[in-house]
Amino acid sequence: MSAKTMAPSVASAAADEQSETTLSNTLSDTSETGGLPRRWLRAREAAAYLGICYHRLGVLRDQGRGPQYRKFGRMVVYDVRDIDAYMEALPAHGGR
């Protein structure tokens, strides 16, 4: 049965499953990382990693001020290394 003949919710679930399969295949490519798997976080996980609200991360993303991200369909993912690089690039304040 094609996605056109399915009920909308079933078609959406099928599209999400296909997107998940594509993401899994993409993330399992270790050619650029010396054989080590990359560590990707979804937006909610990335926000938790940064210690900020999920919605704040979305605002930063929309303003082009947050860490680099990638999109697989509608899914936004962040590489932990990009998050760490973003944090290191921020100016340090305080201290003596």
Radius of gyration, CA atoms only, the chain: 17
Report which residue type is found at 79: D
Element spanning 15, H or E: helix 8-27
Each residue's pLDDT tens digit, 3-16? 455 455 555 555 55
Residues of the chain with pLDDT under 70: 1-38
Give the three-class secondary structure for 69: coil
- Give the H or E element holding residue 5: none
Task: Say what the pTM is.
Answer: 0.58
The whole-number pLDDT of residue 23 equals 46
Q: Find out whether 50 and 9 touch, Cβ atoms under 8 Å.
A: no
Give the pLDDT of residue 32: 59
